């Protein structure tokens, strides 16, 4: 499966124009059918439009410095939270698992977390929580394997014996590589997986410490700018196409005690997720989230932003974990998803 990069000439020219852009300390992020079908107008003002009746109108939401948190920033920026009677404080975290203690301790009411970490914690019974809103899903261009242009890597079989950076052991990055190798009849254990974080992968490849690495935005674009790396292998395709990455969760205790607050949060997020698919609107929050300037942010490969939580799609994450060593527990995702009631 060779990644066709011949059509990327225009993008490379733009990259050269943005070459002077620097990363301003971005934080690494790493991932029945419940449909967000609460009645709402396109501007998110469905429902009462005020805090009357909400069990809790002042809430705190944990986010990551990644595209998966775009919805929360857009809901804040365009007033969707306020239209639902919510006064929201947004608190950034370096990684989703770091926010879990704050969620369990009541410091946070909702937080963004990657689905791999979420389901692993649920399986280990260290977290009793539910998915309230879907955050983002990866696509074939926003999560890829990168390498030097002369690496000789163009196909899954070319990774055999290679040192590949995968963010962390049993991370979604590792699972995606393993699944891609398996789908192409290559032994998933034939690769040397090294836990190097996304921000550090490009430099490690440039120094020869890695042969390749799984990369996400904004590090994918800045790796092209600074180290001259290029995408060489798609890993979000076929069986892993549009794989859900992150979601907003709340503890089961909070969900049960604050159903109206949860519903208001969901209604506010529907138009925000829709806005995230609009590059002109996303660009208003992307530089802050990604840690790069506006010129570089305009080049980032954009994820997909679902407006509903699809348990069938999320079950794919659990299956990926089960198939490639991330967990052995049998989880029915329907039990960990909050449905938005009809208005």
Q: State the distance between the two ends of the chain, measured CA to CA, in whole angstroms.
A: 47
pTM of the model: 0.83
User: What's the structural domain count of the chain?
Assistant: 2
pLDDT for the residue 239: 86
> Predicted confidence band at 94 (pLDDT cuts at 50, 70, 90)?
confident
Asked whether residue 277 falls in the same domain as residue 317, the answer is: yes
Burial, 4: exposed, middle or buried (Cβ in 10 Å; 0-12, 13-18, 19+)?
exposed
For the segment 107-125, the average pLDDT, to the nearest whole number, is: 95
Boundary of a domain, candidates 240, 260, 280: 240
Q: Are residues 179 and 310 both part of a single domain?
A: no
Q: Would you say residue 38 lies in a domain?
A: no
Structural domain contains residue 32:
no
Confidence class for position 109, pLDDT limits 50, 70, 90 = very high
pLDDT for 95 equals 78
Residue 213 lies in a domain: yes
Residue 240 burial (CB count, 10 A) = 22
Q: 127, 137, 219: which is closest to 176 by C-alpha?
A: 137
Answer yes or no: do 144 and 101 share one domain. Answer: no
Do 123 and 252 fall within a single domain? yes
Sequence-separated (6 or more) residues with CB below 8 Å from residue 272: 44, 70, 71, 72, 74, 75, 78, 80
Where is average pLDDT lowest: 47-51, 71-75, 336-340? 47-51
Report if residue 316 sits inside a domain: yes
**Who wins on pLDDT, 281 or 11?**
281
Task: Please state the rounded mean pLDDT for residues 317-337.
Answer: 91
Average pLDDT over residues 125-152: 96
What is the per-residue pLDDT across 210-241, written as a single tens digit (0 to 9) for each? 999 999 999 999 999 999 999 999 999 988 99
pLDDT at 51: 63
Same domain, 144 and 231: yes
| Of residues 209, 41, 245, 44, the one with CA closest to residue 137 | 245
Is the domain of 76 the same as that of 15? Answer: no
Question: What pLDDT score was predicted for residue 5?
Answer: 41
Same domain, 148 and 227: yes
- Confidence check: pLDDT of 337 > 70: yes
pLDDT for 50 equals 60
**Average pLDDT rounded to a whole number, residues 291-314:** 92
On whether both 132 and 253 belong to a single domain, the answer is yes
Alpha helices in the chain (DSSP H): 9-17, 70-77, 80-83, 96-104, 115-123, 172-183, 201-206, 219-226, 252-257, 259-276, 279-282, 286-290, 294-297, 311-323
Q: Which of 240, 274, 299 is a domain's end point? A: 240
286 is a domain residue: yes
Is the same domain home to 83 and 166? no
Residue range of the domain that includes 147: 6-25+140-240
Structure tokens given for 55? 């069990």
pLDDT classification of 323: cutoffs 50, 70, 90: very high
> In the predicted model, what is the mean pLDDT of the chain?
86
| 325 lies in the same domain as 259 | yes
Residue 133 belongs to a domain:
yes
What pLDDT does 65 receive? 87
The stretch 171-197 carries a mean pLDDT of: 96
Is residue 116 in some structural domain? yes
Q: Beta strand 244-251 with 58-64: parallel, antiparallel or unpaired?
A: unpaired
Is the predicted pLDDT of residue 48 greater than 70, yes or no? Answer: no
Strands 212-216 and 143-147: antiparallel
- Residue 43 maps to a domain: no
Of 207, 240, 273, the last residue of a domain is 240
Query: 208: alpha, beta or left, given left = phi > 0 and alpha = psi -120 to 50?
Result: left
Share of the chain above pLDDT 70, in %: 83
Residue 328: which pLDDT band, with cuts at 50, 70 and 90? confident
> Over 80: is that where the pLDDT of 150 sits?
yes
Q: What is the mean pLDDT of residues 282-286?
A: 93
Residue 340's pLDDT band (cuts 50, 70, 90):
low
74 plus 118 within the same structural domain: yes
Q: Is the peptide bond before 175 cis (omega within 30 degrees of 0)?
A: no
Calculate what percentage of the chain has a pLDDT beyond 90. 76
What is the rounded average pLDDT of the residues 167-188? 94
Q: Is the pLDDT of residue 98 over 90?
A: no
Do 233 and 251 belong to one domain? no
CATH of the domain at 118: 3.40.190.10
């Amino acid at each position: 499966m060779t990644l066709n990069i011949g059509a990327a000439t225009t993008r490379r020219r733009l990259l050269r124009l943005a070459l002077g852009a620097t990363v301003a300390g971005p934080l690494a992020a790493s991932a029945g059918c419940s449909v967000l079908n609460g009645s709402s107008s396109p501007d998110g003002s469905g429902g009462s439009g005020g805090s009357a009746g909400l069990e809790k109108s002042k809430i705190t939401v944990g986010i990551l410095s990644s595209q998966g948190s775009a919805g929360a920033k857009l809901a804040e920026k365009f007033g969707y939270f306020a239209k639902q009677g919510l006064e929201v404080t947004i608190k950034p975290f370096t990684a989703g698992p770091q926010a879990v203690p704050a969620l369990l301790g009541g410091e946070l009411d909702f937080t963004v977390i990657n689905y791999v970490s979420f389901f692993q914690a649920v399986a280990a019974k260290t977290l009793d929580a539910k998915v309230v809103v879907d955050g983002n899903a990866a696509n074939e261009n926003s999560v890829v394997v990168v390498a030097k242009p002369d690496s000789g890597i163009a196909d899954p079989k070319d990774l055999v014996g290679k040192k590949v950076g995968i963010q962390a052991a049993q991370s979604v990055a590792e699972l995606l590589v393993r699944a891609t190798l398996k789908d192409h009849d290559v032994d998933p254990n034939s690769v040397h997986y090294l836990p190097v974080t996304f921000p550090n992968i490009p430099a490690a490849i440039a120094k020869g410490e890695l042969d390749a690495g799984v990369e996400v935005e904004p590090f994918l674009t800045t790796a092209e700018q600074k180290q001259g790396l290029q995408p060489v292998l798609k890993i979000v395709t076929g069986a892993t196409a549009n794989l859900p990455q992150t979601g907003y969760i709340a503890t089961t205790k909070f969900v049960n005690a604050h159903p109206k607050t949860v519903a208001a949060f969901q209604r506010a997020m529907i138009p925000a997720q829709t806005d995230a698919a609009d590059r002109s609107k996303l660009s208003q929050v992307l530089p802050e989230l990604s840690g790069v300037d506006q010129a570089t942010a305009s080049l980032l490969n954009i994820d997909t932003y679902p407006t509903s939580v699809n348990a069938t799609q999320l079950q794919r994450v659990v299956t990926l974990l089960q198939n490639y060593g991330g967990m052995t527990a049998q989880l029915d995702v329907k039990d960990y998803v909050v449905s938005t009631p009809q208005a």
